Structure 1
Amino acid sequence: MAHLTNIRKSGSGDGARNRSLPAIRLFFKVMIEFGRIELNPAIEVPKSKVEKNRVPVYIEQSNLGDLLQLVNSKYRTRDVTILALMSYCGLRVGEIHRLNLTDFNEQARQLAVLGKGRKWRYIPLPPTLIELLKQYLTERLQPRRSQESAFFISRLGRRISKRAIQDVAEKTFDSFKQTNLQYKDVTLSSHKLRHSFATNLFATGKVDLRTLQELLGHADISTTQIYTHVNDHAKKEAMMTIQPILPRNLHQYQ
């Protein structure tokens, strides 16, 4: 079905596709009950197989600076700030969209984020990001309505849309892949920046799983555990560099 195909093309995983499928089936079921259609076309659509414990796609810490440097748009400071909050704070597209002026507390040096399930989390901000947010606010576009509280404003003077946020990421990814060929065949999306934040942070070895869960706003720590497998992958790669030198003719000592 077209909608499920678009979910995959947008860079979302098979899990997101599988979560949409029951809602689509229910929609067509209701349509049948109202006599609008006779058959449910979604009944035979299978769920995608989700690979468990799959290492998430991410951008290495050393390459994130290259990505932000390549932002090239009329509203560059705004767009750099958007990508930086996803890359270095783990914000989702919807969280960027919902962000309000009052959510940035410069005095407390933190950002209040309204996440999934209407739950708030509070992210401490490093000095570099505080300065970036302050710089953006000096260039923030004039909203059409004086009472508009959105942190990020579109060129039309309204709260920036989720689609516009994704466009910022996608255009930057196109440029990034041209200069960073190791990512040429990697599927990158705005959500992969959230993966990059979590993966790079956990890989430092200075952050425990519980803290990472709080920063990401995961309701269940099992969701956060996917990032532990990055360390497993790194350990495997490290061990493969070892070339043991063993004694010859071991059988003569037996």
Structure 2
Amino acid sequence: MSEIPTILDDYLNYMEFIKGISSNTTKEYFLDLRTFFKFLKIRYGLIDRKTEFRDIDIEDVDIELIKKVTIQDLHSYISYVDRKRNNKNLTKSRKVASLRSFFDYLYSKLKLIDENPALQLESPKSNSRLPVYLTLEQSNELLNAALANKNEEYSKRDYAIIMIFLNCGLRLSELSSIDINKIKDDDTLTVIGKGNKERTIFLNNACSEAIDDYLIVRPKKTKDNKALFISKQKNRLSNRAIQHMIDKYLKEIGLDTSIYSTHKLRHTAATLMYKYGNVDIRALQEILGHESVATTQIYTHIDNDRLRDAVKSNPLSNRKK
């Protein structure tokens, strides 16, 4: 990471290598705090007003500057990213979480500040939006689009990827990092999720069959022998390449790629399991690798018919006076 002050570098190292936070999350902390430091230099009049935001240097940000930060500064920063950077509530909430974590580190762990200005910093009220997902019919169309690919290797590879997304609800980074030796007995898969936490995924027959079919045509000579999914250049298929591939098939079946994405396939898997599979919310939490069941509960609000049937199934539902 470039243009990074020592105090921030130390914090990021602590989060990734001591706390075990994933590198992707650590990168988000870096980007959020870099934006905050640039904002501070503007607010405190430490730069020429004509300087472009992207050109503001933060290397000289030190603990003495950070000691001056008040809750008013933090409120002003959240207001700034809303008005000037068009951040939505979800992004602002993440920035609040980054600030809380950083100032807690300085206050509780290092004892470098006398007060924690972020202690009373509230998260913006979140919009309770239901997850976007593909219907069962659209899911089948997406799988059929992959099967229609005339290149057998790519067709079977892409079909297997989509099948795993739609059945297992993996995150993009989890799917791209699958190693062949992490598949055991044809029906279990070990993945590394957020926070470097390992969990076991159970593969159903459709997933196992799709992987087996792909392994028959998977290139034998590759630059990464451990990787399950291989690119045209014989490397591990990257996150970006998978996103591009999914976008291509989504467009083929007429879905808007500004709305649908690889993450929406994860939502789809969770929705289909909950809607059709009679899956307990705690089991779904385990499958998806959610830290809190509160994150999983968005899927309990998507099927009013099921909830209506659940109430009707109560043995007291037909009791008469």
Which TM-score tier does this pair reach, normalised by the shorter chain? 0.7 to 0.9
Distance 2:182 2:30 in 1: 30
1:121 aligns with 2:131: no
1:53 aligns with 2:128: yes
Instruction: Write the deviation string for residues 90-130 of structure 1: whole angstroms up to 9, x where unpaired.
Output: 111101111101111135x2111111111111111112211
Q: 2:32 aligns with which of 11, 22, 28?
A: 22
Q: How many residues were matched structurally?
A: 206
Could you tell me whether the CA contact under 8 Å between 1:56 and 1:195 is conserved in 2? yes
Q: What amino acid is aligned across from residue 195 of structure 1 in structure 2? A: H
Cα root mean square deviation, aligned: 2.8
Q: 2:164 aligns with which of 73, 77, 85?
A: 85
Residue equivalent to 1:216 = 288
1:163 aligns with 2:213: no
Where does structure 1 lack aligned partners over 5 or more consecutive residues? 1-17, 36-41, 178-182, 237-254
Q: What amino acid is aligned across from residue 297 of structure 2 in structure 1? A: Q
Residue equivalent to 2:262 = 190
Distance 1:167 1:199 in 2: 23
Greater mean alpha carbon deviation, residues 156-165 or residues 51-60: 51-60
Q: CA deviation at 1:19?
A: 7.2
Residue equivalent to 1:34 = 60
Distance 1:152 1:204 in 2: 29
Residue equivalent to 2:7 = none
Residue equivalent to 1:63 = 138
Q: SS in structure 2 opposite 1:32?
A: coil
Distance 1:198 1:20 in 2: 30
Q: 1:154 aligns with which of 210, 221, 231?
A: 231
Distance 1:172 1:48 in 2: 28
Q: CA deviation at 1:34?
A: 2.9
Percent identity among equivalent residues? 34
Q: SS in structure 2 opposite 1:70?
A: helix
Q: SS in structure 2 opposite 1:138?
A: helix
Distance 2:247 2:168 in 1: 19
1:76 aligns with 2:155: yes
Distance 1:62 1:69 in 2: 11
Distance 2:197 2:277 in 1: 27
Q: What amino acid is aligned across from residue 45 of structure 1 in structure 2? A: V
Q: What amino acid is aligned across from residue 234 of structure 2 in structure 1? A: G
Could you tell me whether the CA contact under 8 Å between 2:290 and 2:296 is conserved in 1? yes
Could you tell me whether the CA contact under 8 Å between 2:167 and 2:269 is conserved in 1? yes
Q: SS in structure 2 opposite 1:129?
A: helix
Distance 1:24 1:234 in 2: 46
Q: CA deviation at 1:143?
A: 4.1
Q: CA deviation at 1:186?
A: 7.4
Q: SS in structure 1 opposite 2:227?
A: coil
Instruction: Write the deviation string for residues 47-73 of structure 1: whole angstroms up to 9, x where unpaired.
Output: 413453311000112321111101236
Kindly name which structure, 1 or 2, has the bigger radius of gyration based on alpha carbons: 2
Could you tell me whether the CA contact under 8 Å between 1:141 and 1:154 is conserved in 2? no
Instruction: Write the deviation string for residues 168-204 of structure 1: whole angstroms up to 9, x where unpaired.
Output: 1000000111xxxxx5697111110000000111112
Cα 1:21–1:138 shift into 2, 3 Å: same
Could you tell me whether the CA contact under 8 Å between 1:53 and 1:229 is conserved in 2? no
Distance 1:57 1:19 in 2: 26
Larger RCO of the pair (alpha carbons < 8 Å, separation 6+): 1
